Structure formats: structure tokens, C-alpha cells
Amino acid sequence: MYTIVVLGSRGVGKSALITQYAENRFEEEYNPTIEDNFRKTDEIDGKSCLLDILDTGSQEEYKSLREGGLSRGQGFVLVFSLTQESSLTELVETRDRVLQARPGGEVPMVLVGNKCDLVSEREVSKGRGEGLSAKFNCSYLETSAMLGTDVHEVFRGLVRQIMKMTPGSHDYDPKRESRDQARGSRMCVLL
């Protein structure tokens, strides 16, 4: 299983990205998230992979919940809104918290500029996002949770990074998952 933590400011589309990836749908209505978990099995490079995705809340009062996710995450999606410059600058501090929680090596992550469909409202250029990703030493994608643009590639690309760092240690076995569920372990449910 691959544990992925999605981080970013309020309203950047973290939940919308996850819902589009996990359930192939877009929620029109914005509901602030405290914290949710999603699970999805995906075929990545010919391997069946189970992803456990933590959708973090962005409110300051839920900071302790986010910090717990930082220590158990194997990969991180850092999301900002292309229509909100301040959401990009806030990610510098977020990335620093990830690195503090995961000392001693590379941390798989991807920088995501969401809402690329809102061209007329754009405040962050593609060059600015690419520049920050170079500084962070991670990949960069521009997505639209509404249209599904590059949403799957965000998660699949991150799993590929994790696989490179820990080859063979996270292969998903659906038969083992069924046996584990029969024994009473956590169910595989999309919320």
C-alpha cells in the first residue's frame, strides 16, 4: 500500500483532485475538509497498486491532524491554486514541515497547480510553478479537477517515485487484501 498525503491551503482543490482521481467525479460545492481518507486500487506500470490517500484539512486548528499525516506519508502532493498567488507562497512552509517530519533523505513529492481551466482568473504563470518545482527538486503538473486534466498522472507519477525508492516492497496483492478483510482488518472504502 502507498500512503499519499495531499497538502495545500484552503480552497485550492485538494478534495476535488482526490475525488476526481478516486471516484471520477467533480463536486461543484465547496465543503471545507477536516480530514478524510480515500483508498483506490490503480494499475500503474502493469502493477496493481493500492493507494491510501489522506486529504488534509487546511485550517490552523487542525494542524496536529496534518502533522500526524506527515510522519506516516510515503509521498506528498503539494497543491496550490493557479488563481491564487498566496496559495503558492504558502507551500514553501508546507514543504519545510514535510522535510522536518521526514528527515534523512529524499521525500517523494509532486507540486500541483490546480484550476488550469480558469484561464481568465490565473495569477500564477506556468514558469513560476516550474521554477518552484525546480527549487523543491520535484515534478510539476498543472491540473483541472473539474475537467480531470492530468489528475491521474499526479498520483500515478508520485507512486512511480515511491516505487523507485523502495522497489518491490509495496506490491499490492488483491487476494491478500480479501483475506485481510475477512479477518476483520480495515475495509477498503472510498468516503
> Is residue 103's pLDDT more than 80?
no
Residue 150 has a pLDDT of 97
Which residue from 37, 8, 3 is spatially nearest to 145, judged by alpha carbons? 8
Instruction: Give the H or E element holding residue 135.
Output: helix 126-136
Q: Residue 41: is it exposed, middle or buried by C-beta count within 10 angstroms (0-12/13-18/19+)?
A: middle
> Is residue 70's pLDDT more than 60?
yes
> Is residue 175's pLDDT more than 60?
no
Give me 166's grid cell. Answer: 523502495
Q: In the sheet where 75-81 sits, what is the strand order?
A: 35-44, 47-56, 2-8, 75-81, 109-114, 139-143
Domains and CATH numbers, the chain: 2-173 (3.40.50.300)
Residue 117 burial (CB count, 10 A): 16
Residue 17 has a pLDDT of 95
> Is residue 143's pLDDT more than 90?
yes
> Is residue 179's pLDDT more than 70?
no
> Is residue 38's pLDDT more than 60?
yes
- State the amino acid at position 150 in one-letter form: D
Buried b (16+ CB within 10 A) or exposed e, 53-82: bbbbbbeeeeeeebeebbeebbbbbbbbbb
> Is residue 158's pLDDT more than 90?
yes
Average pLDDT over the chain, rounded to an integer: 81
Which residue from 136, 131, 63 is spatially nearest to 99, judged by alpha carbons? 136
- Return the minimum-mean-pLDDT range out of 20-24, 62-66, 159-163, 180-184: 180-184
